[in-house]
């Protein structure tokens, strides 16, 4: 599969209801986790920061892919 085919396959996936539902679930999780008021200690803080970093990567995957594609086409 070429890079262009991969990009098109991913763009097709982003248009599905399943992907939109998945993004809504991830955003809800990120909103809950971002409330650091109930963290017990520093270890839990770093663990939560890691989870938020992963959620951020997933939530921004489509826009990151678009930016890479735009740079490649220039």
Residue 12 CA to residue 37 CA, distance in Å, equals 39
Residue 17 CA to residue 47 CA, distance in Å, equals 30
* Res 61 pLDDT > 90: yes
C-alpha 69 chain-centroid distance = 17
pTM score of the predicted model: 0.81
Instruction: Please report the pLDDT score of residue 9 as a whole number.
Output: 95
Give the H/E segment covering residue 71.
helix 61-73
Tens digits of residue pLDDT in 47-60: 999 999 999 999 99
Closest CA to 26 of 56, 61, 64: 56
Tens digits of residue pLDDT in 10-45: 999 999 999 999 999 999 999 999 888 888 999 999
- Half-sphere exposure at residue 43, Cβ-oriented, CA atoms within 13 angstroms: 0
């Amino acid at each position: 599969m070429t890079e262009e085919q991969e990009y098109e396959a991913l763009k097709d996936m982003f248009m599905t209801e399943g992907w939109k539902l998945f993004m809504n679930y991830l955003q809800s999780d990120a909103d809950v986790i971002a409330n650091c008021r109930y963290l017990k200690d520093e270890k839990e803080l770093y663990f939560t920061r890691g989870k938020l970093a992963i959620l951020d990567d997933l939530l921004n995957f489509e826009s990151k892919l678009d930016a890479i594609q735009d740079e490649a086409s220039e």
